[in-house]
């Protein structure tokens, strides 16, 4: 399975990518929503996107809205991974089309549990 990790922090991209690779994902990274759209438009077809909220150029909520407006990307699973933890923000993200919401700081186990709920763990990953 493939994942696109979208975060403006290189350190956080590394943390999320390392966790996903530990679950068996192949990962690519983008530093903001527009960069992620560029990767998708180049033809990269991930199963999962993890998306930070506050990013320059294009934020995570805008990215979710653009992806959800394009039928070609309907199968893409979108998980917000962000320090935005107000209830209202979570509702906004889910209403825009995100499937799940992981609040930073998180542990790899918490991310794995969310992916398991979505049926997005590669086969063979222990719960």
Partner 1 sequence: MTLVPGSTRPVITALIDPATVEAIAGETWIALVGDDEVIVPAPGDLPADTLSAWVDITGPWTGSVVLTTGRQTAADLTRALLGEAAPELLDHEDVADAIGEIANVVGGNVKAALPGPSTLGLPEVGQAPAVRDPDDVCRLDVLWRGRPLVVSIQGTLPPLPTPHEHPYPNGASL
Which positions touch partner 1 (CB under 8 A)? 8-12, 14-15, 18, 54-56, 82-86, 88, 103-107
Residue 1 or 90 having the CB closest to partner 1:
90
Cβ of residue 57: shortest distance to partner 1, in angstroms? Answer: 11
C-alpha dihedral sign at 32, 38, 42, 44: positive
Residue number, 54 or 70, with CB nearest to partner 1: 54
Is the torsion defined by CA of 80, 68, 66, 17 positive or negative?
positive
Q: Whose Cβ is closer to partner 1: residue 41's or residue 54's?
A: 54
**Shortest Å, Cβ 18 to partner 1:** 8
Considering the complex, state which of residue 10 and residue 116 has its C-beta at the smaller distance from partner 1.
Answer: 10
- Minimum distance from residue 110 beta carbon to partner 1 (Å): 9
Shortest Å distance, C-beta 45 to partner 1? 26
Q: Which long-range contacts link 57-61 to residues 24+ away (Cβ below 8 Å)?
A: 57/32, 57/33, 58/32, 58/33, 58/34, 59/32, 59/33, 60/6, 60/33, 60/93, 61/92, 61/93, 61/96
């Amino acid at each position: 399975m493939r994942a696109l990790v979208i975060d403006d922090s290189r350190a956080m991209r590394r943390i999320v990518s390392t966790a996903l690779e530990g679950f068996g994902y192949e990962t690519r990274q983008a530093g903001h929503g527009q960069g992620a759209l560029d990767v998708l438009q180049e033809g990269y077809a991930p199963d999962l996107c993890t998306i930070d909220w506050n990013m320059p150029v294009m934020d995570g909520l805008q990215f979710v809205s653009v992806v959800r407006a394009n039928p070609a990307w309907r199968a893409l699973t979108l998980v917000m991974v962000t320090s935005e933890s107000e209830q209202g923000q979570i509702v906004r993200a889910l209403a825009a089309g995100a499937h799940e919401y992981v609040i930073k700081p998180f542990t790899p186990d918490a991310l794995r549990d969310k992916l398991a709920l979505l049926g997005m763990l590669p086969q063979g990953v222990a719960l």
